[in-house]
Amino acid sequence: MENIATSASHLRSEDVNVWFGERHVLKNVSLNFPSNQVTALIGPSGCGKSTFLRTLNRMHELIPSAGFAGKVLLDGHDIYDHDVDPVDVRLNIGMVFQKPNPFPTMSIRENVLSGLKLTGRRGYNASELVETSLRRASIWNEVKDRLNDPALSLSGGQQQRLCIARSLAMDPEVLLMDEPCSALDPGSTRRIEETITELSDSMTIVIVTHNMQQAQRVSHQTAFFLAEEGNPGRVVEFGKTDDVFNSPIDPRTNDYVNGHFG
């Protein structure tokens, strides 16, 4: 496995293990996520990719049976320290889910501002923040004349970009994306991928994807997860995306990225 230097890491996991009840689902996952880079997490269904993604902002804790061991360091500080509020963690490390989930009773504008209002933040210019967030999510030109329309009046791809804008309004350092294009048509997928590429100039992004071509298009580095014969999921190979896809070290990686299983 390629050793990627930790010196430039913005976000880092160290020996992350996760259990749901008695079931050990992730074992000793150590990965580095540098600033201004996109990391893709790939692997068959059920190997722990999405579970691991959720450990990066403590969302797995919302499942009552979840157990955790290890560290997740953001700028050198462990987000699992006892004095760290998980709500603050999730504001700083945003999440975009597989299916668009705008708040259905809110307008486009209200959706963008919803996180700030829920957390009681003040001192911001609402109109500027709405425009900036929607521009960064590459949807401003499509919605600028209909900000008071219901969020659900948007297409699926537009709703997903609205959800990205909602996360960006909180000014997170990291954006986690769990198969953000799996429910979208090819045109919407292309626009989301373009947005990911643009956002990576200013933030750290981690994306779970089952689309091997997407991983190659948008990511700088890739981690291949695998769970074999009832064992916990773990990282089989981690390195630069070009290396993982074109000259993998482990034969199982080669088999997966070339469609021999999964």
Q: Is the pLDDT of residue 1 over 70?
A: no
Paired strand residues for 77:
74
Structure tokens at 136: 């960064």
Domain count, the chain: 1
Least reliable range by pLDDT among 68-72, 114-118, 217-221, 229-233: 114-118
Whether 17 is covered by a domain: the verdict is: yes
Check pLDDT > 60 for residue 152.
yes
pLDDT at position 68 over 70: yes
225 has a pLDDT exceeding 60: yes
The H or E element spanning position 115 is helix 108-119
Whether the CB-CB separation of 111 and 166 falls below 8 Å is answered with: yes
- Rounded mean pLDDT, 23-34: 97
Residue type, 26: L
CATH number at residue 249: 3.40.50.300
**Model confidence band, residue 4 (pLDDT cutoffs 50, 70, 90):** very low
Q: Is residue 3 part of a domain?
A: no
pLDDT of the residue at 72 = 98
User: Among 8-17, 167-176, 190-199, where is mean pLDDT lowest?
Assistant: 8-17
Say if 191 falls within a structural domain: yes
**Is the residue at 132 inside a domain?**
yes
pLDDT digits (tens, 9 = 90+) for 79-137: 999 999 999 999 999 999 999 999 999 999 999 999 888 787 888 899 999 999 999 99
2 located within any domain: no
Domain that holds residue 136: 9-257
4 domain-assigned = no
What are the CA-CA distances from residue 203 to residues 165, 168, 171, 192, 244 (Å)? Answer: 14, 10, 10, 16, 23
64 exposure class (CB count in 10 Å sphere: 0-12, 13-18, 19+)? exposed
In a domain, 1, yes or no: no
Q: What is the pLDDT of residue 7?
A: 38
Q: Is residue 213 part of a domain?
A: yes
pLDDT at 141 over 60: yes
